């Protein structure tokens, strides 16, 4: 097993050994240094820390581990963003499985990202290198190696997490028994890239962005970040929900705002309290880079080469990742199970809300 350093929130540290699970409280955020990583663009990111949380117990054979790949603005605390999924008798049954969720590199919830301190003692800011989905998976592989997990029973994730899970299947079939990709795709589409580019432009156009080096300033690009989130949130939900839920109703205060404006303002403010603008850009650009067929002969050839079982979950009202994108994966992966389509009024966010249906799909993936 490769040696590494685990640091808990209580600032306890130890070399990684077979006893590392014995003193960590389940669900506590922990920190693991995985060293350096050569990125797809040829740059080397040094001294990488991965924040993660875990539930359940890794068995002696180390063959009951589940890797959960969080979505773009998610983080390592699965119950915090995906309720009713982890615990005894739940889809990620902690009586049977060891469930682990690392925060992605480029993130802002403890893993090395633009807001982290660089080797020179200053925050990375604008100097943080560009990342791809494959870079994120590379960090997850190094993280798994450091913990001595040679193979996962299942790699599963929604949206950005589904991209990473699919990359595991294409690149590392010997390291994962099966995958479940939810509301995701094999390649970023022109529509997705276009919408994402507008969000990035909104952040970079904020006068308080300072080229990405705003950490020492009195104010960061809060307004630009808020605009980006408002745009994104509309793509996460559905036109019918916005109309039925809000319509043309006014907020009922002295602002003259429509109720839907107030709702979007609230979503923007919530994210601004816990998310870094540079991370928003870094992860968005990584999602734009997603192409399972890059250097593999194209999407069809790459998907046809996947040999492990794949469960693909589609949300019928998803306008960010429309169902045709999941149908493509199901059609082209030889070992794919029949496409699972979940009916939801909530669009892309259905993966967060329709937990019973999503849970059933995960249970079926674990049974493969």
Element (H, E) at 142: helix 133-147
Name the token pair of 77.
């605390």
Q: Give the integer Cα–Cα distance in Å for 76 and 53.
A: 6
Q: Give the integer Cα–Cα distance in Å for 113 and 118.
A: 9
Q: Give the integer Cα–Cα distance in Å for 45 and 33.
A: 12
Q: Which of 318, 344, 349, 364 is catalytic?
A: 318
Name the token pair of 308.
């492990």
Q: Does the annotation mark 348 as catalytic?
A: yes
Q: Which of 70, 233, 290, 348 is catalytic?
A: 348
What residues are paired with 8 via a beta bridge?
30
Q: Does the annotation mark 290 as catalytic?
A: no
User: What's the full length of the chain, in residues?
Assistant: 368
Element (H, E) at 331: helix 323-332
Beta strand ranges found along 103-230 (DSSP E): 154-158, 179-182
Q: Give the integer Cα–Cα distance in Å for 325 and 182.
A: 11
Can you give the three-state secondary structure of 96-125, one letter per residue? CCEEEEECCCCCCCCCCCCCCECCCCCECH
Q: DSSP label at 110?
A: S
Question: Which conformational region is residue 182 in: left (phi greater than 0), alpha (psi within -120 to 50 degrees), or beta?
Answer: beta
**Cβ-Cβ contacts under 8 Å for 346 (sequence gap 6 or more):** 237, 238, 241, 317, 352, 353, 354
Q: Which of 159, 165, 344, 364 is catalytic?
A: 159
Number of CB atoms found within 10 A of residue 9's CB: 12
Q: Does the annotation mark 360 as catalytic?
A: no
What residues are annotated to the active site?
159, 318, 348
């Amino acid at each position: 097993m490769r040696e590494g350093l685990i640091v808990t929130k209580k600032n306890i540290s130890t070399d990684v050994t077979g006893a590392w699970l014995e003193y960590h409280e389940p669900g506590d955020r922990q920190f693991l240094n995985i060293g350096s990583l050569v990125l797809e663009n040829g740059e080397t990111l040094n001294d990488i820390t991965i924040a993660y949380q875990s539930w359940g117990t890794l068995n002696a054979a180390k063959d009951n581990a589940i890797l959960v790949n969080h979505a773009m603005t998610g983080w390592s605390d699965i119950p915090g963003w995906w309720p009713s999924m982890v615990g005894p008798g739940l889809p990620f049954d902690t009586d049977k499985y060891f469930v682990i969720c690392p925060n992605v590199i480029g993130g802002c919830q403890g893993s090395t990202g633009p807001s982290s301190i660089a080797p020179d003692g200053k925050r990375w800011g604008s100097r943080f290198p560009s990342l791809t989905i494959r870079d994120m998976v590379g960090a997850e592989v190094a993280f798994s190696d450091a913990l001595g997990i040679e193979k996962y029973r299942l790699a599963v994730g929604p949206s950005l997490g589904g991209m990473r899970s699919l990359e595991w299947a294409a690149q590392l079939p010997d390291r994962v028994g099966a995958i479940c990709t939810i509301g995701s795709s094999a390649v970023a589409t022109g529509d997705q890239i276009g919408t994402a580019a507008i969000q990035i432009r909104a952040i970079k156009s904020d006068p308080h962005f300072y080229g990405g080096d705003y950490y020492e300033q009195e104010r960061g690009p809060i307004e630009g970040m808020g605009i980006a989130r408002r745009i994104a949130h509309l793509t996460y939900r559905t036109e019918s929900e916005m109309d039925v839920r809000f319509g043309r109703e006014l907020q009922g205060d002295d602002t003259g705002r429509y109720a839907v404006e107030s709702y979007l303002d609230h979503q923007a403010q919530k994210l601004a309290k816990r998310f870094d603008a540079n991370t928003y850009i870094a992860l968005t650009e990584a999602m734009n880079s997603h192409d399972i067929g890059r250097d593999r002969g194209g999407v069809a050839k790459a998907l046809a080469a996947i040999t492990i079982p794949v469960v693909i979950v589609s949300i019928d009202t998803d306008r960010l990742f429309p169902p045709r994108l999941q149908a493509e994966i199901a059609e082209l992966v030889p070992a794919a199970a029949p496409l699972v389509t979940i009916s939801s009024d909530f669009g892309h966010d259905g993966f967060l809300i329709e937990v019973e249906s999503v849970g059933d799909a995960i249970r079926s993936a674990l049974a493969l």
